[in-house]
Amino acid sequence: MNRLLQGEVGSGKTVVALRAMLQVIDAGYQCALLAPTEVLAAQHARSLRQMLGNLAMAGELGADELATRVTLLTGSMSVAARRAALLEAVTGDAGIVIGTHALIQDGVEFFNLGMVVVDEQHRFGVEQRDELRGRAREGLSPHLLVMTATPIPRTIAMTVLGDLETSTLRQLPGGRSPIVSKVVPALTQPAWVDRAWERIREEVADGRQAYVVCSRIGEGDDAPDAKEQPTTAALALFEELRFGPLSDLRVGLLHGRLPADEKDAVMRDFTAGLIDVLVCTTVVEVGVDVPNATVMVLKDADRFGVSQLHQLRGRVGRGAHQGCACSSRTRSPAPRRSND
């Protein structure tokens, strides 16, 4: 199998991939799931273990007799944890090995790799995917399933030329409502920004949660030129919100420079509802699934690409309540060229 699974953000691609992996495991092989970020890889590990229940507890008390094991492998793991994960992969104890680019590093071996799943495939190159498939036994070519909501031109060309078969999820799970998108012109209508913070407070009062996404972490990170309007850094906005407009709410911070265990702890707290508002960067762009989050404010939205905006807005509205994405724009739109 060499197949692309295309579906809207939140359409259930992970569940489809899990069903395919279970068939491969039942046939006596292992599966590898490649994710672009540690946050997404850790979430996949948690969600698959939760969906499998005692079927993911091989070797533990209460495990089903047909159970397997879900193992996580990332670059920032401790030496002991990494050694244990590598051992489970090479001995075959782990039926599903989930990881980031660490899966394609030297020293990673599988007992009997039969399927490779690549989530957010547009974030990986062809050679990286082939490198992981090359970890199988000699003479064996593992099945390949790549998944994305925003296929890139190279992927579309491969489907047209016949190198990649396509499956499409055309519907969202039942009960979902369309995500409402709003543009907040921060320069010309600063009061609208205050209304965005008020909307977050209203949602939190109703028991829901929110994201606030920034384009950079701190000062000096791809800061704009002096001639351009300054952008908002996540560190600065985090301090501003927790001591200002959202001072009575539980505000958390998440970005790529945090240690892996701290990032995992923040996501666990947010998923468990212990954080009301998560100030973050694009580290939450792909795959993060918190059904209780209903509002997202995108600061300096004009700094993001169209694909990024589509992926980010898909982080809200994943539950029973409607989602709302507010894009705050700090630059005036470029004047249209005249046809004269």
Query: Do 19 and 142 belong together in one domain?
Result: yes
Considering the domain boundaries, does residue 339 fall inside one?
no
pLDDT of residue 128: 87
Q: Which residue's structure tokens are 């193992």?
A: 71
Same domain, 73 and 134: yes
Residue where one domain finishes, among candidates 169, 197, 223: 169
CATH at residue 119: 3.40.50.300
pLDDT, residue 139, reads: 86
> Is 303 found in the same domain as 156?
no
Provide the token pair at 153.
Answer: 């031109």
**Residue 334 placed within a domain:** no
pLDDT at 29: 96
Write down which residue in 149, 169, 189 finishes a domain.
169
The amino acid at 44: H
Verify that 24 and 60 share a domain, yes or no: yes
Q: What is the pLDDT of residue 191?
A: 85
Q: Which domain holds residue 250?
A: 180-329
Q: What is the pLDDT along the chain (340 residues), one digit of tens a residue?
A: 889 898 888 888 999 999 999 999 999 999 999 998 888 898 899 999 999 999 998 888 788 888 899 999 998 889 999 999 999 999 999 999 999 999 999 889 999 999 999 998 878 887 888 899 999 998 899 999 999 888 777 777 777 777 788 899 988 887 777 889 989 887 788 888 899 999 999 999 999 999 999 999 987 665 555 556 678 999 999 999 999 999 999 999 999 899 888 998 999 999 999 999 999 999 888 768 899 999 999 999 989 988 889 889 889 988 889 999 999 876 655 555 555 4
What domain count does the chain have? 2
- Considering the domain architecture, whether residues 136 and 41 belong to the same structural domain is answered as yes
pTM of this prediction?
A: 0.81
Domain ends where: 131, 148, 169?
169
Straight-line distance from the first to the last Cα atom of the chain, in angstroms, rounded to the nearest whole number: 54
- Do residues 138 and 193 both lie within one domain? no
